[in-house]
Amino acid sequence: WPCATVGILAILAWNGVGGTEAHERATGHPTAKSGTASWYSSSETCRVNPDPACPTASGLSLFDLEARGVLFAASYAYPLGTRLRVRVSDSAAPAIRRQSAQSVVVTVLDRGPHPRLGRVLDLSKSAFAKLAPLSQGIVQVEIEAVKP
């Protein structure tokens, strides 16, 4: 029955009963997070990937996702398939905040960035471009899990 208890706690937390702390305890996945995000694309990632399809951790082709303009992200903190609302943090430079979209909703379809890099999220090129100029490279963001 311990497994059933964890499942019930996860459902209650996801539905707002018990708050974000209960969700994190029950699932081990944060509901909100902040930190540095960067972007990645097939031109960089697939150069070192021996598979011609260049699959993401979810099995979808990075080439196909980019061609369709899918807004996605790579994360170790959230399960594959999780939808996240990402917005530029209030601590980001004022010029970045003025020119960025309010937020962008992405789906976690890949794993990364490597924890040693100090980033919390890698965004697809198209998702990052909605938040900041690609030339910026990295941006401070706030991340929130979106209920399905």
pLDDT digits (tens, 9 = 90+) for 92-109: 666 555 565 678 999 999
Would you state the pLDDT for residue 100? 57
Whether the per-residue pLDDT at 79 is higher than 70: the answer is yes
Compute CA 56 distance to the chain's CA centroid, rounded to the nearest angstrom: 13
Would you state the pLDDT for residue 13? 37
Would you state the pLDDT for residue 95? 58
Tokens of 59: 């099995």
Report the pLDDT averaged over residues 9-36. Answer: 52
Question: Where does the pLDDT of residue 55 fall: very low under 50, low under 70, confident under 90, or very high at 90 and above?
Answer: confident
Whether the per-residue pLDDT at 15 is higher than 60: the answer is no
Would you state the pLDDT for residue 3? 40
Question: Where does the pLDDT of residue 63 fall: very low under 50, low under 70, confident under 90, or very high at 90 and above?
Answer: confident
Would you state the pLDDT for residue 39? 92
Would you state the pLDDT for residue 53? 76
Question: Please, are residues 122 and 103 in contact by the beta-carbon 8 Å criterion?
Answer: no
The CB-side HSE value for 81 (13 A sphere, CA atoms) comes to 2
